[in-house]
Structure 1
């Protein structure tokens, strides 16, 4: 199936999500990709979840601040869903309608991995909530940066509220990201986060290139 024939391609722009565990390099790779996209003459929107909007920034402080303490897993999932709804409605959809390449550091898969597999909420109940919050908008390409949680957490530094969870939590998160990618290889690419950042960036560029309408057939 060619990207132009894909049922997920319903917007003018292209939607890319970076997913993965803590310390996997998502922020670095997101920035590198945005710069490359703009160098090819496209408009890029670089954003993140939670926190891509003004409302989201407030929600992010609640979700990640260790001072928040324990939250009911359902409460936590609902706060993440609220962040996603605001993010999609006010930033992502307008940017896609304008023809931008939207690059987000985390999206729905993080909810399924962290609040679903990590918190042990039923993914079958959680996914409809996340899809409703995002109007069922799905990335054209999801890049999973895979790293052993023990390595990634060591890179992350002082832990926030989520990073401070037990290693078993992060192991479950990692497995779920890989399971999601295995289930939809047309829209996912899994990359080893232990590789050098530039080598990873080259692989990301190669994966995205077919989705850029004006760049198909060009060299990565």
Structure 2
């Protein structure tokens, strides 16, 4: 089982991943970008804004994704792997290019290895505004609320376009309600 938790920044992925770590001690936990040694370097470069070109930034993430699939996902195909982000984010965040081209490049990078279960934590504009007010934003978050909401919309479109097994969860629900929905989905 290859489970991914998706959502724009501040949606609550980290909180839910912490709960999943408690409930699924047998699972392999990973993240994109940065789930491998080379991935950590690529993640730092991308999030620090080292790539001046959006295309270069996308290729940093594609390189990370290809390495992640080979080093983490494929060797553990008979275990439960739970990932913070995946190909879905890769496609959604490359918003400067047509979604069809980005999808093709990501399917090449992943060797068509796709998640079996996708959880998307969704934020309304009001909730996102509230959550971003109290924190220092990285180079991606500082692009603004409308940018992040567009990314969230691209995530939803990508999940549907790839015909993945998914659940969309309102991220403004209580932590416990979200956790229960996730467990029901994984165990269902």
Asked if TM exceeds 0.5, the reply is yes
The residue aligned with 1:217 is none
Query: Quick one: structure 1 residues 192 and 170, their matched pair in 2 at CA, closer, same or farther if it must change by over 3 Å?
Result: same
The residue aligned with 2:139 is 161
Is 2:47–2:140's contact at 8 Å kept on the other side of the alignment? yes
The structure 2 residue matched to 1:140, chosen from 105, 116, 123, is 116
The residue aligned with 2:22 is 35
The residue aligned with 1:209 is 187
The residue aligned with 1:193 is 171
Query: Quick one: structure 1 residues 114 and 47, their matched pair in 2 at CA, closer, same or farther if it must change by over 3 Å?
Result: same
The residue aligned with 1:82 is 63
Distance 2:126 2:64 in 1: 28
The residue aligned with 2:127 is 151
The residue aligned with 2:94 is 115
Query: Quick one: structure 1 residues 124 and 47, their matched pair in 2 at CA, closer, same or farther if it must change by over 3 Å?
Result: same
Is there any run of 5+ residues in structure 1 with no aligned partner, and where? 1-13, 211-220
Is 2:91–2:158's contact at 8 Å kept on the other side of the alignment? no
Q: Secondary structure at the match of 1:17?
A: strand
The residue aligned with 1:60 is 43
Larger Rg belongs to: 1
Kindly report the root-mean-square deviation, in angstroms, between the aligned alpha carbons of the 2 structures: 1.9
Most deviating of 55-64 and 145-154 = 145-154
CA drift of 1:105 comes to: 0.6
The structure 1 residue matched to 2:27, chosen from 41, 44, 48, is 44
Query: Quick one: structure 1 residues 150 and 76, their matched pair in 2 at CA, closer, same or farther if it must change by over 3 Å?
Result: farther
**Residue 128 in structure 1 maps to residue 104 in structure 2:** yes
Query: Quick one: structure 1 residues 102 and 133, their matched pair in 2 at CA, closer, same or farther if it must change by over 3 Å?
Result: same
Query: Quick one: structure 1 residues 180 and 129, their matched pair in 2 at CA, closer, same or farther if it must change by over 3 Å?
Result: closer
The structure 1 residue matched to 2:149, chosen from 167, 171, 177, is 171
Most deviating of 144-153 and 134-143 = 144-153
Q: Can you list the C-alpha shifts for 1:31-57, whole angstroms capped at 9, x where unaligned?
A: 21232123xxxx201111111111111
Is there any run of 5+ residues in structure 2 with no aligned partner, and where? none
Q: Secondary structure at the match of 2:121?
A: strand
What is the TM-score of this pair, normalised by structure 1? Answer: 0.78
